[in-house]
Amino acid sequence: MAMLYASGAIEGAVEQQPLNMSAIVMFLLFVGGTLGITYWAAKRTKTAKDFYTAGGGITGFQNGMAIAGDYMSAASFLGISGLVYLKGYDGLIYSIGFLVGWPIILFLVAEQLRNLGKYTFADVASYRLRQTPIRSLAASGSIATVILYLIAQMVGSGKLIQLLFGLQYEVAVVLVGVLMILYVTFGGMLATTWVQIIKAFLLLSGATFMAIAVMAHFDFSFGSLFATATEMKGIEIMSPGGLVSDPVSAISLAIALMFGTAGLPHILMRFFTVGDAKEARKSVFYATGFIGYFYILTFIIGFGAIVMVFKNPAYLDLAKQAIDGGSPILGGNNMAAIHLSHAVGGDFFLGFISAVAFATILAVVSGLTLAGASAISHDLYASVIKKGKADGMAEMKVSKYATVALGIVAIIMGIAFEKQNIAFVVGLAFAIAASANFPILFLSMYWKKLTTRGAVIGGSLGLATAVMLVILGPIVWVQILGNEEAIFPYKYPALFSVAVSFIGIWFFSITDKSDNAAAEIEAYEAQFVRSQTGIGAEGAVDH
């Protein structure tokens, strides 16, 4: 999602806009509303189960909206519409890549996850394996993914808020960090879920209005919309551009998007908030619907921006034009949707969309922080350190401390990385999720002969490969470190790192002849029965 910052991040020295009053008012309304929700949620969050899974009583529909909300981040809304604005059809290719992981998750993973796990995906991965090594690896993979994702979100949000509300960058970052700490510490999963749901509703409504406004301009004829757009930017925008130029990159990106989604800890966590496998399935159905609809909207919005924002003097960045020529818009390509909201709805609607973008950022970083905190408290503290004998209240306390710590880390990183090129960071997060988290999770569910040793060695190899190939690849090695040519020629390492992971896990499992391994293979049957039927699974909590 923030991978799309690569298409032209909020660029240059961000000039703070003069304070936009309607934006500020709506932003304050939103913050007030969500703090109110947090207060409500705090009163209902008494146990660890409440904190991690909102008590397990979220419905399929609500969870579907929450999951979609997690997916429709500011980076996604602005980045994808920005990519469509810049390149046209390529934006749709990216969107589809993000979407198709969902059906796969539903068919292969969702129910088993809900049936086997309790709070975190490491519960499932380590179900019949030795807890300490698997939990440590899974928790590390989760925390790494979360921190990388948080860096991207914090930097993106700081710049966005600076641009939209006229706040200073550091103030913006601290503000986001503090609010996020409040939501999660006091409201846990219940607060973060409802903040996501409300935000998803507002975002979908706002985007729908924008798309309808754009189409109304063209008498609801897509042909006219596209015709005018091509007059502005040329016919190339209607075809695939250079986004995926060779088969290896194409397949590698596809794999990263599909399997990475199934390995993102903050998404997987949401599967434990519903009552049973049936609601888990419905969650994915609704989520896929909302997300698919959202991508169709961003496609229309991107084209709308080509027609109404491009070369429009109101949005032109004159300073940048003087240096680089062309017709750059204020704030870079990722601001296309924001400017479009002004073009179709004036200052008021711009204020609304800005507040929604802010809401989006807060909701996503909260979810991420909760996932990271639960990896620390449930996987590392309760399972690895306390060997499963932790007191529920103690575990919850550790979660809250972990949340505050992660929040502070996120603020510091956000400030430190302000001027860095962070485009590769979310790509790396997806690569780690696809190479370390997903293979262990998947094989644990489906392969009898998986052993602890195999999972640990194979998963670690996958993780190391992903990190190494990103460092040696064109983005870090050439663009950031300034070398001539990349040692690893592809932008997306997933094809290789995922392959290494699966092969490593397979090889080190079948060659494992220890007693532990035999016991683990034996235990598969019981796990399989539970994963298929839900007998013995965690139920919902009665309040």
Partner 1 sequence: MKKEHVEAIKNDPNFQELVSKRSKFAWTLTIAMLVVYFAFILTIAFNPSALGTPLSSDSVTTVGIPVGIIIIVFAFILTGIYVRRANSEFDDLTAKIKKTAKENE
CA 43 – CA 529 distance, rounded (Å): 37
Q: Does 256 bind partner 1 (CB under 8 A)?
A: no
Least distance (Å) between residue 99 CB and partner 1: 6
Min separation Cβ 441 and partner 1, Å: 16
Q: Is residue 534 near partner 1 by the rule CB under 8 A? A: yes
Per CB under 8 A, contacts with partner 1 among 95-124 are 95-97, 99-100, 102-104, 106-108, 111
CA distance 53 to 190: 7
**How far is 76 from 63, CA to CA, in rounded Å?**
19
In the complex, least distance from residue 532 CB atom to partner 1, rounded to whole angstroms: 6
**Cβ count near 313 (within 10 Å):** 7
Dihedral pair phi/psi, residue 274, rounded to 5°: -100, 165
> Does the protein bind partner 1 through residue 251 (CB under 8 A)?
yes
Pure H helices in 418-522:
423-432, 438-446, 452-471, 494-510, 515-522
User: Rule CB under 8 A: is residue 254 a binding residue for partner 1?
Assistant: yes
Piece of 145-153, 290-298, 306-314, 342-350 that binds partner 1 (CB under 8 A) = 290-298
Closest CA to 6 of 529, 372, 451, 474: 474
Q: Which is nearer to partner 1, 31 or 296 (CB)?
A: 296
How near is the Cβ of 282 to partner 1 at its closest, in Å?
Answer: 6
Minimum CB distance to partner 1, residue 131 (Å): 18
In whole angstroms, what is the distance from residue 116 CA to residue 308 CA? 51
Q: Which of residues 226, 315, 358, 430 is near partner 1 by CB under 8 A?
A: 226
Closest separation in Å from C-beta 178 to partner 1? 38
Does residue number 149 form part of the binding site for partner 1 (CB under 8 A)? no
Residue whose token pair is 């040519």: 485
Give yes or no for a contact between 265 and 146, defined as CB atoms under 8 angstroms apart. Answer: yes
Which C-beta is closer to partner 1: that of 39 or that of 107? 107
Residues 292-331 that bind partner 1 (CB under 8 A): 292, 295-296
**What single-letter DSSP state applies at residue 274?**
B
User: Smallest distance, Å, CB 111 to partner 1?
Assistant: 8
Would the CA dihedral through 72, 77, 78, 84 be positive or negative?
positive
215 is a contact residue toward partner 1 (CB under 8 A): no
Selected binder of partner 1 within 19, 171, 235, 481 (CB under 8 A): 235
The CA distances from residue 531 to 107, 108, 116, 509, in Å, are 13, 11, 6, 21
Q: Which stretch binds partner 1 (CB under 8 A): 50-58, 145-153, 191-199, 247-255?
A: 247-255
Phi and psi at residue 346, to the nearest 5°:
70, -165
Among 20, 288, 383, 501, binds partner 1 (CB under 8 A): 288
Taking the CA atoms of the chain, what radius of gyration do you get in angstroms?
23
DSSP, res 18: P
User: Is residue 489 involved in binding partner 1 (CB under 8 A)?
Assistant: no
**Tokens 């973008």, residue located:** 357
Minimum distance from residue 305 beta carbon to partner 1 (Å): 17
> What is each CA distance from 260 to 376, 438, 445, in whole angstroms?
21, 7, 17
| Amino acid identity at 476 | V
Q: Which is nearer to partner 1, 153 or 288 (CB)?
A: 288
219 CB contacts (<8 Å, ≥6 apart)? Answer: none
Say whether residue 244 binds partner 1 (CB under 8 A): yes
* Residue 392 lies near partner 1 (rule: CB under 8 A): no
Residue 223 or 482 having the CB closest to partner 1: 223
Query: By rule CB under 8 A, what count of residues binds partner 1?
Result: 52
220 contributes a contact to partner 1 by CB under 8 A: no
CA nearest neighbour of 120 among 144, 150, 142: 142
| Contact pattern from residue 171 through residue 210 relative to partner 1, giving x for each residue in contact according to CB under 8 A and a dash for the rest | ----------------------------------------
Tokens describing residue 146: 């979360």
List of residues contacting partner 1 (CB under 8 A)? 89, 92-93, 95-97, 99-100, 102-104, 106-108, 111, 222-223, 226-227, 230, 235, 238-240, 244-247, 249-251, 254, 258, 278, 281-282, 284-285, 288-289, 292, 295-296, 525-526, 529-530, 532-536
